[in-house]
Structure 1
Amino acid sequence: MTENSEDFSTHHSPRSTHQLRMVAWELTRSCNLACVHCRASSERGPYPGELNTKECFRVMDEIAAIGKPVIILTGGEPLLRTDIFELAGYGTNKGFRMVMATNGTLITEENVKAMKASGIQRISISLDGPDAETHDAFRRVKGAFEGSLRGIEIAKKYDLPFQINTTITRANLHLIERILRLSMDLGAVAHHIFLLVPTGRGKELQEQEISALDYEKTLHWFYEQNDQVDLQLKATCAPHYYRILRQRAKKEGKKITPQTHGLDAMTRGCLGGISFCFISHVGQVQPCGYLELDCGNVREKPFPEIWKESRIFQDLRNFDGYGGKCGPCEFRKVCGGCRARAYEISGDYMAEEPYCIYEPA
């Protein structure tokens, strides 16, 4: 689930055209687990008002009118949705790159075959610990770790590429290197780390957020791993990484190009409302899953109108509108701070990123 990206070397005005590169679509909020850090506070459900099959088809038609983004089928747990492969196939036929975010515990040989037949090109599976003790504590279901490993083995059997996603908190920060090594041993094509954003049940874990200093140290460590491991690494909900990337490359005398730094050379930190958006289970369009702001509902407005005209999206596209130290920061076009974290702390999604130790020059 990697991002196509755009050139952020020039100023983006609020009214300039922004190409939609990726959509995370919460097709259901229902989930078979009850993770402590879940942004949606998902449980088994059912949840009323979820978009039906015909509505999803219509929204995909509308998305296709303005681009061919990567679409992440997510939840909750998307495999609980009975029409999931019908929707995946429809998106594939529209020319989207269809991928799926799953906890892995419901994967079977039958549904992996269906994933491949419907055109799903990659899945992500979350592992928040290198062992059952740590991972199951996050998931609040005994056996979740073994269930995810079983799912991974089935995906491997049928040559379905998978990546590992890990949310970092104080509880597993000391284990992150072991989780990376496990990802490599399992045969993952990528390892994406997520820095905890305290929304949903994650609000109860605010004391588990790592410090700003540990945040910085972790991202420096992650940068160093790029030259040492044979899988794609990406930091998500960690926009500071793109500042660190440029600082380190300059210090090392390296030019940042796609050949030397892959997709990291072409993208920026916070993409919410710029080249990425989130669609909730009831059709609410948001900058991301962690920033639960109503930018418009696909039941009430065509998706292209929401993407182009939402006032919130227009704000997020105006980098000069950032508050606090993000405003004058020379890295604001490549970092942008986490808008969700800013909103959770201050109530203002344009406020400064609260977990950044960097002081603008």
Structure 2
Amino acid sequence: MSEPLLPPIGMLAELTHRCPLQCPYCSNPLELLKANRELDTQTWLDLFSQAADLGVLQVHLSGGEPTLRRDLEQLIAGLSARSVYTNLITAGVGIAEGRIEAFAEAGLDHLQLSFQAARPATTDRIGNHKGGHEKKLETARRARAAGLPLTINAPIHRHNIEEVPEFIDLALSLGAERLEIANVQYAGWALTNRDQLMPERAAVDRQAEIVAAARERLTGIMNIDFVTPDYFAIYPKPCMGGWAR
């Protein structure tokens, strides 16, 4: 017998393709949608309402860089009014003073902040954004001061895989409840640049050992999610690693 088709509980909303960074592994399509072709405020609010009616419990607001949407506070408030959990996925650069606090006041439940690397120079080089690392640190501090739970997202590839131990220390120092060690998935721009991004097998295996040890050491202190790569596996992992079930 086939399993019954269950309604979704989570939704990823890519609000824009605009972004101040130029990461070579970006999952955005090669043909980026211009701002004047983005869905407007009311269309997004209608979609969120339909999602809530279907039983969606959480919406992840992503991009591109979602904070470039001037209506983001309104979108968050609309989801909050439907009792939908909201997670803002941001690069954390260029966010105006007071805006993170406004997101919290609108009902934002959680902030997920991406770091291109644990070292400032690597962060700025990979994202092609001078001073980006320090801006991200400030975003993390402001999020914690606003009372928002914080996840640090670490997209891993050849040029930062040796920094995994430092990513763990960074997340701890910022008071993050969760760290996601997310090996780059090769689609979009990452597929185009795969030859320059794919790590060596030995580095991937060493990374897995480091994460396993850190998980045990930090039990009850910080959760570490490890999005394993399947390009060295015999069989690919299920879609979403089973998270969508």
TM-score (structure 1 length as normaliser):
0.60
Matched length: 237
Q: Which residue of 192, 196, 201 corresponds with 2:184?
A: 196
RMSD: 2.6
Residue 18 and residue 209 in structure 1: after superposition, are their counterparts in 2 closer, same or farther (change >3 A)? farther
Q: Which residue of 41, 50, 60 corresponds with 2:38?
A: 50
Q: Which residue of 179, 184, 196 corresponds with 2:167?
A: 179
**Residues 323-356 of structure 1: per-residue CA shift (max 9 Å, x gap):** xxxxxxxxxxxxxxxxxxxxxxxxxxxxxxxxxx
Q: Shift of residue 37 of structure 1? A: 1.4
Partner of 2:199: 210
Q: What amino acid is the match of 2:213?
A: E
Partner of 1:72: 60
Q: Which residue of 235, 240, 247 corresponds with 2:226?
A: 235
1:83-102 mapped onto 2 (5 Å cutoff): 83-102=71-90
Q: Shift of residue 273 of structure 1? A: 10
Residue 94 and residue 270 in structure 1: after superposition, are their counterparts in 2 closer, same or farther (change >3 A)? farther
- Stretches of structure 1 lacking an aligned partner (at least 5 in a row): 1-10, 241-268, 277-316, 318-361
Q: What amino acid is the match of 1:116?
A: A
| Largest Rg, 1 or 2 | 1
Q: Shift of residue 84 of structure 1? A: 0.7
Q: Which residue of 188, 212, 220 corresponds with 1:223?
A: 212
Provide the C-alpha distance between the structure 2 equivalents of 1:224 and 1:236, rounded to a whole number of angstroms. 16
Give secondary structure in 1 for the equivalent of 2:54: coil
- Stretches of structure 2 lacking an aligned partner (at least 5 in a row): 232-236
Q: Shift of residue 204 of structure 1? A: 3.8
Q: Which residue of 162, 165, 188 corresponds with 2:153?
A: 165
Q: Shift of residue 187 of structure 1? A: 1.1
Partner of 1:291: none
Q: Is the contact between residue 85 and residue 114 of structure 1 (CA under 8 Å) also seen in structure 2?
A: yes
Q: Which moved more, 1:100-109 or 1:230-239?
A: 230-239
Provide the C-alpha distance between the structure 2 equivalents of 1:237 and 1:52, rounded to a whole number of angstroms. 36
Q: Is the contact between residue 57 and residue 90 of structure 1 (CA under 8 Å) also seen in structure 2?
A: yes
Q: Shift of residue 52 of structure 1? A: 1.1
**Residues 235-260 of structure 1: per-residue CA shift (max 9 Å, x gap):** 236479xxxxxxxxxxxxxxxxxxxx
Give the fraction of aligned pairs with identical amino acids, expressed as a percent: 22
Q: What amino acid is the match of 1:92?
A: S
Q: Is the contact between residue 28 and residue 76 of structure 1 (CA under 8 Å) also seen in structure 2?
A: yes
1:121-160 mapped onto 2 (5 Å cutoff): 121-160=109-148
Give secondary structure in 1 for the equivalent of 2:109: strand
TM-score (structure 2 length as normaliser):
0.86
Provide the C-alpha distance between the structure 1 equivalents of 2:137 and 2:148, rounded to a whole number of angstroms. 14
Q: Is the contact between residue 113 and residue 158 of structure 1 (CA under 8 Å) also seen in structure 2?
A: yes
**Residues 202-227 of structure 1: per-residue CA shift (max 9 Å, x gap):** 22431221244543442343222112
Residue 271 and residue 96 in structure 1: after superposition, are their counterparts in 2 closer, same or farther (change >3 A)? farther
Q: Is the contact between residue 27 and residue 74 of structure 1 (CA under 8 Å) also seen in structure 2?
A: yes
Q: Shift of residue 275 of structure 1? A: 5.9
Give secondary structure in 2 for the equivalent of 1:234: strand
Residue 50 and residue 274 in structure 1: after superposition, are their counterparts in 2 closer, same or farther (change >3 A)? farther
Q: What amino acid is the match of 1:219?
A: A
Residue 145 and residue 23 in structure 1: after superposition, are their counterparts in 2 closer, same or farther (change >3 A)? same
Is residue 27 of structure 1 aligned with residue 15 of structure 2?
A: yes
Provide the C-alpha distance between the structure 1 equivalents of 2:225 and 2:242, rounded to a whole number of angstroms. 18
Give secondary structure in 2 for the equivalent of 1:72: strand
